[in-house]
C-alpha cells in the first residue's frame, strides 16, 4: 500500500467499513486507501479536494472508523515516508539523474530497504488461516487459471510452472494469441481464478475478474490496495506491498506470496503430490536435464 509505514490496522478497518459508508464518504475512504502517505502531509481540505468531496465528508469518514476527527485520524500517518509519488516517467528521469551523478549508493539502500519492507509489510497482514482457506479452494478446483499481464504475466507463468511439477490443470493466462475473457469462456464454479494487478490497474484483468465472478468462479486476488477493484470482487483477498524507488511496481512480495500460497496448496493436497514432484525431478535427472560434473 504505497510502502507507507502507518498502521495497517487503520487501513483494514477503513476497508471493512467501505460498504457501510455513504457514496461520498466512500470516495474519501478509497482515496485514503490508495494514497495513505498523503494523509500525513495533507490538511483535511487538501484530502477533500483530492478525493473530490467536501471537508465535512472526510471528517465523517474518520469518525466512522473510531476517531474524533481528521487530526486524530491523521496522526498515525505522519511518520509515513512520502516517496515515489511521482508518475512513472518522472521517476524514470529521477533515476537517470542519480546515475549521472554517480551516486548509486542511495539507490542501492532504497532498493534493499523496500525489498525487505515489502516482504515484511505484506506478510505481517496475511494470516496462515487466510492462506490455508485459499489453498484448499485451489486444491479442490477442477482447473486453476492464473492471470497476469505486463510484468505480472511472467509472475503468473512462474507460479503455473512450479505448480505443474506436481499437479495438472494449472493454466497461465492469457494464452498466446488469446485474451483473458476468452480463456475463461468455459470456466464455472468448479474453477479458480488467481488474478494479479497493481496500480495502474489493467482493464483486461479487472474485466476478466468481473466476468469470472458472474460465471461463479472462485477468485483469489493479489493487488496493492484494499480498494483495488479485483480485491473488492474476490473471495480470497491478499494485499501486497509493491513500493520501490524504481518507475515500476516491485514484484518481490507478489512472487514471495505466490510461492508461499503454493506451499500451502502442497501441504493441504493428497499424499501423492510430493511423490509426483519427486518423480518429476527424477525423470529430469534420468534424461540428463540437470548438469553434473560426473558427465
Write out pLDDT tens, residues 32-83: 988 887 787 688 999 999 999 999 999 999 988 888 888 888 887 765 433 4
d(CA 155, CA 163): 13
Q: Are 146 and 160 in contact (CB under 8 A)?
A: yes
To the nearest whole number, what is the mean pLDDT of the chain? 86
CATH code for the domain of 168: 3.40.50.10490
For residue 106, the model assigns a pLDDT of: 73
CATH code for the domain of 15: 1.10.10.10
Please report whether residue 225 resides in a domain.
yes
For residue 81, the model assigns a pLDDT of: 37
d(CA 229, CA 207): 10
Point out which residues pair with 238 in neighbouring strands. 222
Q: Give the distance, in angstroms, between the CA of residue 135 and the centroid of all CA atoms in the same chain.
A: 17
Please report whether residue 1 resides in a domain.
no
pLDDT tens track for 91-144: 566 556 655 666 677 777 778 888 888 999 899 889 999 999 999 999 999 999
Location of C-alpha cell 529521477 = 94
Same domain? 49 vs 133:
no
Same domain? 170 vs 275:
yes
pLDDT of 155 over the 70 cut:
yes
Same domain? 158 vs 257:
yes
Q: Is the dihedral of CA 44, 46, 50, 54 positive or negative?
A: positive
Same domain? 181 vs 49:
no
d(CA 121, CA 4): 9
* Domain count of the fold of the chain: 2
Please report whether residue 282 resides in a domain.
yes
Pick 185 or 290 by higher pLDDT. Answer: 185
For residue 97, the model assigns a pLDDT of: 60
| Mean pLDDT, range 164-177, rounded to an integer | 93
d(CA 95, CA 241): 21
Which of 51, 77, 103 is where one domain is finished? Answer: 77
Same domain? 273 vs 178:
yes
Please report whether residue 93 resides in a domain.
no
Same domain? 44 vs 133:
no
Which of 36, 53, 77 is where one domain is finished? Answer: 77
Same domain? 155 vs 264:
yes
Please report whether residue 99 resides in a domain.
no
Point out which residues pair with 145 in neighbouring strands. 171, 193
Which of 62, 77, 92 is where one domain is finished? Answer: 77
pLDDT tens track for 11-25: 888 888 888 888 999
Same domain? 269 vs 149:
yes
- With a pLDDT cut of 70, the percent of the chain lying above it is 87
Domain containing 21: what range? 8-77
Amino acid at each position: 500500500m504505497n510502502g507507507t509505514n502507518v498502521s495497517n490496522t487503520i487501513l483494514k478497518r477503513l476497508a471493512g467499513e467501505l460498504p457501510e459508508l455513504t457514496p461520498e464518504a466512500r470516495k474519501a475512504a478509497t482515496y485514503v486507501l490508495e494514497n495513505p502517505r498523503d494523509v500525513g502531509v495533507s490538511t483535511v481540505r487538501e484530502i477533500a479536494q483530492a478525493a473530490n468531496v467536501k471537508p465535512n465528508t472526510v471528517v465523517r469518514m474518520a469518525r466512522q472508523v473510531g476517531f474524533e476527527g481528521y487530526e486524530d485520524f491523521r496522526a498515525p500517518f505522519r511518520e509515513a515516508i512520502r516517496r515515489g509519488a511521482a508518475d512513472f516517467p518522472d521517476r524514470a528521469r529521477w533515476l537517470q539523474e542519480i546515475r549521472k551523478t554517480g551516486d548509486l549508493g542511495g539507490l542501492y539502500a532504497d532498493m534493499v530497504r523496500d525489498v525487505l519492507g515489502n516482504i515484511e509489510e505484506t506478510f505481517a497482514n496475511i494470516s496462515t488461516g487466510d492462506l490455508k482457506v485459499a489453498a484448499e479452494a485451489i486444491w479442490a478446483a477442477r482447473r486453476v487459471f492464473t492471470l497476469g499481464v505486463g510484468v505480472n504475466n511472467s509472475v503468473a507463468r512462474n507460479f503455473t510452472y512450479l505448480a505443474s511439477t506436481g499437479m495438472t490443470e494449472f493454466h497461465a493466462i492469457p494464452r498466446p494469441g488469446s485474451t483473458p475473457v476468452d480463456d475463461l469462456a468455459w470456466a464455472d464454479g468448479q474453477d479458480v481464478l488467481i488474478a494479479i494487478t497493481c496500480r495502474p490497474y489493467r482493464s483486461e484483468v479487472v474485466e476478466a475478474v468481473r466476468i469470472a465472478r458472474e460465471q461463479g468462479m472462485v477468485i483469489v486476488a493479489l493487488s496493492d490496495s484494499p480498494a483495488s477493484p479485483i480485491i473488492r470482487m474476490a473471495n480470497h483477498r491478499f494485499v501486497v506491498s509493491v513500493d520501490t524507488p524504481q518507475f515500476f511496481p516491485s514484484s518481490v512480495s507478489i512472487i514471495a506470496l505466490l510461492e508461499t500460497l503454493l506451499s500451502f496448496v502442497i501441504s493441504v493436497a493428497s499424499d501423492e503430490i510430493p511423490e509426483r514432484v519427486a518423480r518429476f525431478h527424477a525423470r529430469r535427472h534420468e534424461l540428463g536435464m540437470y548438469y553434473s560434473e560426473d558427465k
